[in-house]
Chain A
Amino acid sequence: MLWVDKYRPKSLDKVLVHQDIAENLKKLVMEQDCPHLLFYGPSGSGKKTLIMALLRQMFGASADKVKVENKNWKIDAGTRTIDVELTTLSSTHHVELNPSDAGFQDRYVVQEIIKEMAKNRPIDTKGRKGFKVLVLNEVDKLSREAQHSLRRTMEKYSASCRLILCCNSSSKVTEAVRSRCLNMRINSPTEEEIVKVLEFIGKKEGLQLPPGFASRIAQQSNRSLRRAILSFETCRVQQYPFTSNQAIPPMDWEEYVSEIALSMLKEQSPKRLFEVRGKLYELLVNCIPPDIILKRLLYELLKKLDSELKHEISHWAAYYEHRLRLGQKAIFHLEAFVAKFMSIYKGFLIETFG
């Protein structure tokens, strides 16, 4: 079992980071009237862990008894019926799903699932009608239409179900939805906190941690706790006992992106552009989301770039990321960024070195 899962706190009492938030959540649930919640924060900060712990707090162990289901909805949309299939994770008390997987038909999913839940309300031990909890992941990836339809249903069925929304960036959630929720900002854990957790795990696993090793991992993890624990374990798999200057292996795709960045800096020619396209395809085909590729690529480029170009390149990266979201075929925009970079950088080199 991976350590990430093994040492994931199961209840609100046991969390090591964000203890204050956990405390507040506990109180919130105790009062039995839970509002809609919106968890947001960078990845690896513990949103999901908190949500699961919260559910366990609300419903007890039965929240753990989930089953995975591929649900199928038939939706009448005017003249035609739309088939939507989605994987859901459900227990008696809650349903968790990832509506953005349905692409631009996500709004039907949102409407249907909420209506369905409203139809059969569970009944609690005291005979009162209880409520179900709907956990929606990646709300920031929901289409605008879906968010609008969410807004209405949230109010209409608020008696029978509570929503817990989870996303990385609240800026991509419409204001209307945000104002209907209690917003919980989950910060990334500080490096000290990460070190603390790593040391905790090390102690539990009975490992010898050389001084400074944990903090190095923490530094490299970009303040993502999950990433830190995973690379901690990767190090463990690769080499034990640890040495203090042991290399911390990057993720496979990050390594690949940095290779692309290097090759872009080395040569700017149509031939190179063509090669980079092949590599970008490789990343995309391996299911790396394009926006993450672009972000990482920029990050790698900035490391090596002359400072006068940094601003311009960042500007273009943002520009093409925007277009990436507007468009559909990611490779076009990634390639456009690469071409733009090459043209700028080449001009810069010629200007500087003749």
Chain B
Amino acid sequence: MSDIRKWFMKQHDKGTGNGNASKPAKPSGAEKPAVISQPEKSVQESQESSGRRKTSKYFSKDKHVKDELEVEEVSAKRKAQRGRGELDSDVKPPPGKKVHKVEDEDDDEDFVTPSRRESVDATRSKKLKSGVGKGVAQNLIDESDEDDAGKTKSNLKPAGRGPGGKNASATLTTTTDMDVDGSDKEDVDDKDAKSSKSGGRGRGGRGTSAGGRGRGGGRGGFMNFGERKDPPHKGEKEVPEGASDCLAGLTFVISGTLDSLEREEAEDLIKRYGGRVTGSVSKKTNYLLCDEDIGGRKSAKAKELGFVFMFFHDLPYFMLAIFPCFPNIHIFVNIFNWIASYSTKFLTEDGLFDMIRASNKSKTSIQESKKPLDKVAPSPPKKSPQVPETKKQVGKHVATSVAVKGLSPAASLPKRKDQPTAQSGLPWTEKHRPKVPTDIVGNQSVVKQLHDWLSDWNKKFLNTDQKGKGKKQNDSGAKKAVLLSGNPGIGKTTSAKLVSQMLGFRTIEVNASDSRGKADAKIEKGIGGSTSNSIKELVSNEALSLNMERSQRPKTVLIMDEVDGMSAGDRGGVADLIASIKISKIPIICICNDRYSQKLKSLVNYCLLLNFRKPTKQQMGKRLSQIAKQEGLQVNEIALEELAERVNGDMRMALNQLQYMSLSMSVIKFDDIKQRLQSSSKDEDISPFTAVDKLFNFNAGKLRMDERINLSMSDPDLVPLIIQENYINYRPSSTGKDDNGMKRMSLLARAAESIGDGDIINVQIRRYRQWQLSQIGSLASSIVPAALLHGQREILEQGENNYNRFGGWLGKNSTLGKNYRLLEDLHVHLLASHESNLGRMTLRLDYLTLMLKQLTNPLRVLPKDEAVEKVVEFMDFYSISMEDFDTIVEISKFKGHPNPLDGIQPAVKAALTRAYNKGSSSRVIRTADLIKLPGIKKAPKKRVAAMLEPVTDPSAEENGEEFAVNEEENLSDTEELEDSADAEKQLQTDLESLSSKGIQVQVDLKGSGSSSAKRAPAGRGKGSSQATEKKGGRGSGSASRKRK
């Protein structure tokens, strides 16, 4: 037995070798070794902790690993034992371990208490001296702003913090606290012996909390969530490691800004050690965790509930110090602690750390002190004669506390083994499927509704058949089918089955594995054919079902599972289902995941809609812990709630996960679940916003690379855009102190450049289809900027919401596109006016300013009629339409500049529009507009330029003639000369007749073109261009006709 114990312990404190290494050095002794071990340990410990302080959090990783190792070992061992299948071998070791454990606990408690008492005077001065320089410095700071509790005799207290050696700090702090608290608080009432545990913890916590508060420095008001400040000493403190369940059963509320932890980190920490974190203060709350003197609601509430400050705990120790030899003092300790545990205490972050640390210390100290028991330590005893005394006292006082701590893993181990393989091969999801409707987790009201509906069904529908359909069928509340909807794994199918079962229905389940296509029209084809036929048969068989009822044989209910899964294979499935519902003589329960699915749109009208919601994590946690207990699994409720949260309400998945984890470990801790489900939680879809939130989160720095890639790839188009839109808003947490914003600015520049890289890569990906670059693309466009700038978001504009905005680029880009189109229209019109021949960009960059002036200035300065006349003239000249006028104004608008239309009377503008429209009857259409040809319904594909000149233009006719001549010449060597010439003349006359009505049409015709307009198969050699010309000619003609 001692063998095992030693092996176990060795592992624990070194984490390196297995027990064998230390074996040789182990002659067994009884009490003496304890003496030796202690100094040894304290030395070692102080070294360790000073080292740890430097390396901050990362050190804790190591510890963690150790823990895991341990667990693994245990489970491995367990397995091995089970594998042997020998009952006796199973039974034997565990009790031994248990005993051992108990002893450990004893040692632990004892060890701390007496040493505290005894070592005070002995060690004080020494420690102070030996304490690191830091300790002293801190001391000064502490004193400077020690205001909270008015404790001032603190020449000792800071020292307690300073040296950092766990042993030492424990001893010293307690003494100081004694002084302090003794002076402060005397008003404690009743007590109980139960919670000596928390007492022990509290004591540790108190010790340093004063120091922490002192360092916390400035006090800010209560901040609401959005504007919460960064922790002032973010990341500067080492997060302690503690015993796994040291906070079990305690409830915390976090308020305000903590000293070094972000709120989420603190939450995580508490949960990891079994504590519970709630949002608001209630009677059950044990601790209010805060570092500042907060004036907020939470603290007010806490005070109101009659809470005492944390250092209450220390009162007993004060008394202890006064009457060191009074042995029964521990009863008082317990009493005080009980009181304390009953009320909410304020707790600082350092206090929390110490709580955790204290628990850990007790654990290690157990082992340390235990080890020497087994082996006679060869190391020379240094000092501390007190220790033996402590040893003796131990046994008496603390046994109770151990009993309370019944949940410690080692103790529970045997239990697990007692029911070794009770499980059959059944998966837990089946095994623990609810047996009665009340077992269903959550959604009880929905289940009730379902129950009512089903039990009323026969009354409602079958009887109406006999009485007369009209009345009741119209009853809107009565639907013949029910549609259950909700996420997977929350018990839809189960509750449908259970309810039916309870009401004595026989269930027929049809799910996606059956083909559910439309039933054959010919029902004769047989019931044996497709499922749907049998459904039809089932549903419509009145006689049968009535008979059944009459003969008291089981009634039937049809459960159509996964109706939204009716896919291509089930053609007409939904329609058929509706038809079935209409004629059905039996109740039908349809089940789907997404009620709003397009496929089910028609179905929902015929169904009573019942929506299953996700059960709360408390509900799930409760049920899960029942199951865990049945399976002999050691899990605390906090961990299960975490599990429930992670699986997103999916009970089935939670059970599967639990079962899987139970294979490898018998004790499941918060961290295990966290680790285990880290991978599975990302299976759910995340929106781009969530992804960006996560990437920019203050602790995004801890994300692994693959997680970041997954986040940024969740939507490779949108995520970069949202990031680009919002990266300016983040105050990077990596800069630390940044007085003038210089660091941030340069980080911004780097991020902006990286975003640019992302854009360039994106071009490569899209244009040249280099999809293999997509990872590096998302790296450059999302991950790098986020990594540079992640931190707190702040607002840059008044009244802006402090949420990530949607990427502005998409909107701007579409506006840009629209404006380009408008500009292009204007450009084409300008070109068509023949007055200028300019590029689009020249138009925008150079012309537009002047054009705008030409168009708007006269309206502003000249008298109305004159102005309108002038502007219309200008517009006509460049064939600018009213739309183009608006375009010009629109494009010249700049935010922060006066609107170009300012100062123009609305009346003048209206007059302009009127004048323009009036002129349009005689207007030249010179623009390339879409023209409809008469007789052809559809607009021709090509946009055709019609060029008409006003009658007044004398050149038109000449041109026309000139053209005709040209054309004739051109055609001189074609055979169709005469025909085409005739045709042309014909056309010419047509056009002339048109022109007599006010419009002269000048067609850019080619002889052959126009001829082909008349005679179908015209120009041989000139296929395509002719065609276009033809349309041009015709188009203009028709247009002119239309314009009349």
Residue numbers of A with Cβ under 8 A of B are: 1-2, 4-5, 8, 43-44, 48, 52, 61-62, 64-72, 87, 89, 92, 96, 98, 101, 104, 116, 119-120, 122-123, 125, 127, 137-138, 224, 226-227, 230-231, 233-234, 237-238, 249, 251-253, 255-256, 259, 268-271, 273-274, 277-279, 281-289, 292, 320, 323, 326-329, 331-333, 335-336, 338-340, 342-344, 346-347, 350
Contact = CB atoms under 8 A, between A and B. Distances in A.
B641 to A, nearest CB: 40
Interface stretch (B68-76, B247-255, B590-598, B846-854): B846-854
B824 A87 contact: yes
Contacts of A336: 749, 752-753, 755-756
Given A68-B831, A285-B815, A346 B742 contact: yes
B828 A68 contact: yes
Closest A-B pairs by Cβ, 5 of them: A336-B752, A70-B943, A327-B759, A343-B749, A339-B752
Contacts of B744: 270
A176 to B, nearest CB: 21
Given A123-B973, A230-B847, 16 more contacts: A1-B874, A2-B851, A52-B837, A69-B945, A70-B942, A138-B839, A249-B849, A251-B849, A274-B797, A287-B891, A327-B760, A332-B724, A332-B752, A336-B749, A339-B748, A339-B749
B808 A281 contact: yes
A286 B752 contact: no
A274 B745 contact: no
Contacts of B966: 62, 92
A287 B842 contact: no
B767 interface: yes
B877 A1 contact: yes
Interface string B936-969: 0000011111010000000000010011001001
Nearest to B781: A332
Interface centre among B816, B831, B849 (most CB of A within 10 A): B849
B762 A328 contact: yes
A252 B759 contact: no
Given A138-B839, A343-B748, A87 B973 contact: no
B945 A68 contact: yes
Given A70-B942, A72-B941, A286-B894, A234 B853 contact: yes
10 contacts: A62-B966, A65-B959, A67-B947, A70-B943, A268-B741, A285-B815, A286-B892, A327-B760, A329-B759, A342-B749
Contacts of A287: 816, 819-820, 823, 844, 891
B354 interface: no
Contact of B763 (A119, A268, A328, A343): A328
B839 A123 contact: no
Nearest to B947: A67
Contacts of A269: 741, 745
Contacts, number: 231
Interface in B351-393: none
Interface stretch (B470-478, B666-674, B1019-1027): B1019-1027
A332 B847 CA distance: 28
Contact of B816 (A70, A89, A285): A285
Interface centre among B836, B944, B963, B973 (most CB of A within 10 A): B836
Interface string B756-769: 10111011001100
A212 B612 CA distance: 85
Contact of B1025 (A52, A120, A259, A273): A120
B836 A4 contact: yes
A48 B838 contact: yes
A195 to B, nearest CB: 19
A278 B901 CA distance: 22
Given A138-B839, A234-B853, A327-B759, A70 B728 contact: no
Interface string B814-841: 0110011001100110011011111111
B857 to A, nearest CB: 6
A282 B760 contact: no
B753 A286 contact: no
Given A270-B748, A343-B745, A237 B853 contact: yes
B752 A48 contact: no
B522 interface: no
B892 A69 contact: no
Given A72-B941, A327-B760, A336-B753, A286 B891 contact: yes
Contacts of B962: 61-62
Given A289-B841, A332-B755, A5 B835 contact: yes
B897 interface: yes
B601 interface: no
Interface centre among B824, B834, B1032 (most CB of A within 10 A): B834
B970 interface: yes
Interface in B888-944: 891-897, 927-928, 941-944
B845 interface: yes
A143 to B, nearest CB: 9
Contact of A278 (B874, B895, B970, B973): B895
A346 to B, nearest CB: 5
A42 to B, nearest CB: 12
B737 interface: no
B241 interface: no
A178 B941 CA distance: 36
B1006 interface: yes
A81 to B, nearest CB: 14
Interface in B961-992: 962-963, 966, 969-970, 972-973
A224 B838 CA distance: 14
Nearest to A138: B839
Contacts of A332: 724, 752, 755-756, 758-759
A238 B837 contact: no
B746 interface: yes
A346 B849 contact: no
B752 A238 contact: no
Contact of B842 (A43, A69, A288, A329): A43
B1026 to A, nearest CB: 8
B189 to A, nearest CB: 55
B1006 A346 contact: no
Contacts of B959: 65
B850 A67 contact: no
A251 B849 CA distance: 6
A238 B854 CA distance: 10
A328 B759 contact: yes
Nearest to B817: A285
A342 to B, nearest CB: 6
Nearest to B966: A62
Contacts of A233: 850
Given A285-B816, A327-B759, A2 B973 contact: no
A238 B849 CA distance: 12
A136 to B, nearest CB: 12
A224 B310 CA distance: 81
Contact of B894 (A87, A238, A256, A270): A256
Contacts of B771: none
Given A282-B894, A323-B760, A331 B845 contact: no
Interface centre among A71, A72, A252 (most CB of B within 10 A): A252
Contacts of A48: 837-839
B1028 interface: yes
B812 interface: yes
A268 B943 contact: no
Nearest to B894: A256
A330 to B, nearest CB: 9
Nearest to B943: A70
Contacts of B943: 69-70
B897 A120 contact: no
Contact of B854 (A116, A237, A284): A237
A340 B824 contact: no
Contacts of A259: 896
B591 to A, nearest CB: 43
A127 B874 CA distance: 43
Contacts of B87: none
Contacts of B342: none
